[in-house]
Amino acid sequence: MRTPSEPAPPERRRLVADRGDAAVRLDAVLERRLGDRPDASRTRIQRWIAAGRVAVNGVTARRAAQRVPTAACIDVALPALPARLAPEAEPRPLVVLYEDAHVVAIDKPAGLVAHPSLGHPRGTVYNALLWHARGWAAGARPQLVHRLDKQTSGVLLVAKAAPAHAALLRALDQGLLDKHYLTLVCGRVEPARGELSWPLQRDPGDRRRMIAAAGGKPCRTRYALLGASRTPGDAVSLLTCELLTGRMHQIRAHLATAGWPIVGDQTYGPALRPVTGNHRLDALLAAFPRQALHAWRLSFPHPVTGERIAVTAPVPEDLAELLEVAGLLHEVGQPTSRPVGHGQT
Decide the pairing of beta strands 178-186 and 236-243: antiparallel
Instruction: Determine phi and psi for 284, rounding to 5 degrees.
Output: -65, -40
Q: Which residues are catalytic?
A: 149
Asked if 148 and 156 touch (Cβ cutoff 8 Å), the reply is yes
Say if residue 272 is exposed, middle or buried (CB neighbours under 10 Å; 0-12, 13-18, 19+): middle
Q: Measured at the alpha carbon of residue 177, what is the angle toward residues 236 and 44, in degrees to the nearest 5?
A: 90
35 closest CA partner among 119, 123, 114? 114
SS3 296: strand
CA distance linking residue 278 with residue 259, whole number of Å: 22
210: which strand partners? 202
Asked if 276 and 286 touch (Cβ cutoff 8 Å), the reply is no
